[in-house]
């Protein structure tokens, strides 16, 4: 059975069972919790005979404690970067056994059962470009699988509100849009596999993708691995992750309710983060290295009207100040060189993204920024391999352009398969 949504009475009843119990305490406002949810559903289904899996929202479960001495599996879902990533610990019959997110192989047996099956298309990454490619491929009669280490959506799933994707007059949150894309693709026969990709051999025939759940073979591969947040590159940034430094306002913003935060950046993401944080934080200081925002005009007026948003133009963060946690930042004026100190409780870094192309290094041609070299055809330097969405060279990275890439990739893949029968 899948994971059961529980109230307090059901929780008490569940822990009296002989089977070990794994409980996921989550929050609906936490995008990371929602993204990892399908993994627990999978655990609940695969281990129904030996493990009871339950879910409870944070608002209902705050303060819950299992009976003293019970054999309850305890799960802490530390949300977002403020929670220092995910950490799950299950107490199984008196023994502590750690579970790590994104690594289901630790609790499910890896399998090579996929070795003998060759898919028409392997899609690596379940973002909008990946699931669009899967949808078009399945509708074209191609045997297709999506390999995703968490859940559908990629970075889009962490977006609170999307207003520029056609068809949703009132907008839609990224997580819900991702779910719709996944379900639509699966309706036409696409298989989704939650697995972390470890290695790829893109020149092999068929092409090989090794994952935490086994080895998958495909005639073609679509890379939709997206991009990760770019860091500031200042001393102490890594050490303060989860202790004042964050990269996702939608994930960690609620930790700073009533506090002072700094947002670094001047593009659309930084502007959106500043607006979101202005609704929960006492004060938001937007730091940008230029004298005007790069963000589109739609953000300018709302930011100017927000009474608790302050701008620091021509400024960069030169140092992070801290004790046990972040206490402030040192800013350097890019014009005068003068430095000043800003006291704050948190820093949200929104200075762009870096492509997730580590697995492609040494196999595919990359540009100076690390993006996969692929034009409007999405074709890469290896025949039968296509790059879609944020991971490829392109002038505009948006949900709508990623979706277009996915459709084009399938068109090119069909041609490749026909020519290489």
Distance between CA atoms of 50 and 178, rounded to whole angstroms? 31
What is 219-245 written as a DSSP string? EEEEE---EEEPP---TTTTTTBTTTE
Could you give the 3-state DSSP secondary structure of residue 219?
A: strand
Q: How many CB atoms lie within 10 A of CB 172?
A: 17
* Cβ neighbours of residue 253 closer than 8 Å, sequence gap 6 or more: 276, 277, 280, 281, 348
Could you give the 3-state DSSP secondary structure of residue 410?
A: helix
C-alpha angle 371-213-385 in degrees, rounded to nearest 5:
30
- Asked if 232 and 264 count as a contact pair (C-beta separation under 8 A), the reply is yes
Distance between CA atoms of 290 and 297, rounded to whole angstroms? 16
Nearest to 230 by CA among 88, 386, 371: 371
Distance between CA atoms of 335 and 61, rounded to whole angstroms? 51
- Asked if 154 and 126 count as a contact pair (C-beta separation under 8 A), the reply is yes
- Asked if 160 and 274 count as a contact pair (C-beta separation under 8 A), the reply is no
Which H/E stretch holds residue 346? strand 346-349
Distance between CA atoms of 108 and 49, rounded to whole angstroms? 14
Provide the token pair at 219: 């005639």
- Asked if 48 and 16 count as a contact pair (C-beta separation under 8 A), the reply is no
C-alpha angle 262-153-166 in degrees, rounded to nearest 5:
90
- Asked if 390 and 416 count as a contact pair (C-beta separation under 8 A), the reply is no
Distance between CA atoms of 281 and 420, rounded to whole angstroms? 57
Distance between CA atoms of 268 and 350, rounded to whole angstroms? 9
Q: Please give the positions annotated as active site.
A: 248, 251-252
Q: Is 306 exposed, middle or buried (0-12, 13-18, 19+ CB in 10 A)?
A: middle
């Amino acid at each position: 059975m899948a994971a059961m949504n529980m109230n307090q009475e059901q929780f008490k009843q569940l822990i009296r069972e002989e089977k070990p119990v794994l409980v996921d305490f989550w929050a609906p406002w936490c995008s990371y919790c929602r993204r990892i949810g399908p993994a627990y559903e999978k655990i609940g289904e695969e281990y129904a005979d030996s493990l009871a899996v339950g879910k409870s929202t944070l608002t209902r479960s705050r303060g819950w404690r299992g009976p003293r001495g019970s054999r309850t599996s305890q799960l802490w879902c530390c949300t977002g970067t403020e929670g220092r990533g995910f950490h799950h610990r299950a107490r199984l019959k008196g023994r502590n056994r750690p579970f790590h997110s994104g690594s289901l192989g630790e609790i499910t047996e890896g399998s090579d059962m996929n070795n003998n099956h060759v898919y028409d298309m392997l899609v690596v990454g379940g973002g909008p470009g990946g699931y669009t490619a899967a949808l078009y491929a399945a509708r074209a009669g191609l045997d297709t699988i999506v390999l995703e280490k968490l859940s559908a959506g990629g970075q889009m799933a962490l977006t609170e509100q999307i207003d520029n994707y056609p068809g949703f007059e009132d907008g839609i949150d990224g997580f819900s849009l991702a779910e719709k894309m996944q379900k639509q693709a699966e309706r036409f026969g696409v298989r989704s596999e939650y697995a972390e990709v470890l290695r790829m051999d893109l020149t092999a025939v068929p092409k090989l993708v090794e994952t935490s759940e086994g080895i998958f073979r495909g005639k073609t591969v679509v890379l939709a691995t997206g991009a990760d947040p770019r860091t500031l590159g200042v001393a102490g940034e890594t050490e303060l992750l989860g202790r004042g430094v964050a990269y996702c306002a939608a994930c960690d913003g609620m930790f700073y309710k009533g506090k002072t935060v700094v947002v670094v950046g001047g593009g659309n993401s930084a502007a959106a983060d500043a607006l979101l944080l202005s609704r929960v934080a006492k004060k938001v200081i937007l730091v940008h290295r230029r004298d005007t925002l790069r963000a589109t005009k739609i953000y300018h007026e709302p930011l100017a009207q927000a009474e608790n948003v302050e701008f620091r133009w021509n400024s960069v963060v030169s140092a992070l100040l801290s004790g046990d946690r972040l206490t402030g930042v040192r800013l350097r004026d890019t014009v005068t060189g003068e430095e000043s100190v800003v006291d704050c409780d948190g820093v949200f870094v929104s200075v762009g993204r870096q492509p997730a192309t580590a697995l492609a290094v040494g196999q595919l041609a990359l540009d100076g920024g690390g993006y996969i070299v692929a034009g409007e055809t999405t074709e890469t330097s290896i025949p039968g391999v296509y790059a879609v969405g944020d991971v490829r060279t392109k002038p505009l990275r948006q949900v709508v352009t990623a979706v277009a890439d996915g459709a084009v990739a399938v068109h090119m893949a069909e041609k490749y398969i026909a020519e290489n029968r």
